[in-house]
Amino acid sequence: MQEILWGQPERLIGSVLDKNARVFVVAGRAYRDSALRREVERLFECTLFEGYSPNPKYEEIKAGIELFALSRCNCILAVGGGSAMDVAKAIRLHADAKEEEDLLERKTSEYVRAIPLVAVPTTAGTGAESTRYSIFYRDGKKISLDDPVCLPDVALLWEGWLEGLPHEQKVSTMLDALCQGIESAWSVRSDEASETLALLAVQKIAAAQEAYLFAPHDQEIAREIMEASSLAGQAIERTKTTAAHAMCYRLTSDYGVPHGKAVALTLPHIWKVMLGKEETNDPRGMDYVRGQFLKIARAYGTESAEDAIAKFSENLSRFGVVAPKIKPEELPALVKAVNVSRLSNNPIPLSEQDLEKIYSLL
């Protein structure tokens, strides 16, 4: 069971890690001149790993594992956005891998389960601090690890990190959390607990997004968004994501669209296509699925799924989210790359023709 703590992380870190900890820090830019870094380096022997890309690569994971072994560290601290979390999780999962081993062919050992992993998100949107998933790219192909070992033991949340974030990063990460909440709420794997988390995330983002993106920094608004991100992460930890996430990854790797924006570009078109279908993947039936669509719409501040789709699309335009130019001849490759397992979580089955139509509408 993960422990989630709120507060300035430099005030909490000394009580979270053992006093004899040797800390392997996987961190992004926000960590470099932070009070947290000063406190970690004051209290512990530590090694810093920054050698990863915004969309981490397999080779970077391997380099992190090699440095972890050389450092003789006994715990991992991840500080940053989703990429830092993904890298730290993958390093923990494969911490005892040999250099010549293929990471994707290994089984988890008892050794790696005993390595503490603490996550400190410095953005609000990925929810990666509360999931068992780690994503990276190998030879241009997205790899998604799914293992309980990837779930951090402790997440330290503090809204202060959000002050000064670039506007575009705020937009992308917030949209990622919003889509996670929506997808979790309509996932075939949803239950009462995940639905509560997901709908509350959607409701909080809908209420706070304008002030978060366009008004001067406000700690209360920032906390609402940070909390919504955490709730959405906890929700998809239970349900996984669905078609919007399945369709987004090549938009990022091939067209350079930031992850959260890529997910958000597909979601309203997916939702609209689903409204025209009568068949469902959900054993609870079509009436249940329609009921979920209505619950999501109301959490988003609208009265119908159609209204929610319209509002979502209008907001993408207001937030400056622009779709890439996709040529007709590129559509088959995009469809072929879609993660089929995520489509099985989708409440409505989508054919290859549906996927091609959705991509063509971006």
Q: What CATH number is attached to the domain comprising 309?
A: 1.20.1090.10
pLDDT tens, residue by residue, 229-280: 999 999 999 999 999 999 998 999 899 999 999 999 999 999 999 999 999 9
The number of folded domains in the chain is 2
Domain membership of residue 26 (yes or no) is: yes
Residue 149 has a pLDDT of: 93
- Count Cβ neighbours within 10 Å for each residue of 129-141 and write b for 16 or more, e otherwise: bbbbbbbbbeeee
Same domain for 206 and 139, yes or no, is: no
The letter for the amino acid at 78 is: A
Same domain for 180 and 284, yes or no, is: yes
Domain of 246 in residue numbering reads as 167-361
Q: 140 pLDDT exceeds 90?
A: no
The letter for the amino acid at 173 is: T
Q: How many CA atoms lie within 13 A of 68 on its CB side?
A: 29
Same domain for 247 and 320, yes or no, is: yes
Same domain for 124 and 232, yes or no, is: no
Same domain for 11 and 53, yes or no, is: yes
* Nearest partner of 185 among 293, 277, 90, judged by Cα: 293
The separation between CA 36 and the C-alpha centre of its own chain, rounded to angstroms, equals 23
* Residue 31 to residues 78, 121, 128, 328, Cα–Cα distance (Å): 10, 10, 17, 43
Q: Supply the mean pLDDT for the chain.
A: 95
Same domain for 234 and 287, yes or no, is: yes
| 258's tokens | 């930031």
Same domain for 153 and 174, yes or no, is: no
The separation between CA 195 and the C-alpha centre of its own chain, rounded to angstroms, equals 17
Handedness of CA 214, 220, 223, 228 (dihedral sign): negative
Same domain for 214 and 149, yes or no, is: no
Residue 251 has a pLDDT of: 95
Same domain for 173 and 125, yes or no, is: no
Same domain for 38 and 175, yes or no, is: no
Rounded to whole angstroms, how far apart are CA atoms 199 and 280?
21
SS3 category, 110:
helix
Residue 86 has a pLDDT of: 96
User: Which of 126, 157, 188 is where one domain is finished?
Assistant: 157
pLDDT tens, residue by residue, 165-224: 999 999 999 999 999 999 999 999 999 999 999 999 999 999 999 999 999 999 999 999
User: Which of 105, 139, 157 is where one domain is finished?
Assistant: 157
The letter for the amino acid at 157 is: L
Domain membership of residue 176 (yes or no) is: yes
* Nearest partner of 300 among 175, 148, 127, judged by Cα: 175
138: part of which helix (H) or strand (E)?
A: strand 133-138
Same domain for 209 and 352, yes or no, is: yes
User: Which of 88, 122, 157 is where one domain is finished?
Assistant: 157
Same domain for 196 and 110, yes or no, is: no
Domain membership of residue 142 (yes or no) is: yes
pLDDT tens, residue by residue, 1-58: 899 999 999 999 999 999 999 999 999 999 999 999 999 999 999 999 999 998 899 9
Q: Give the contacts of 36 (CB within 8 A, at least 6 positions apart).
A: 9, 10, 13, 79, 120
Band (106; pLDDT cuts 50, 70, 90): confident
310: part of which helix (H) or strand (E)?
A: helix 305-318
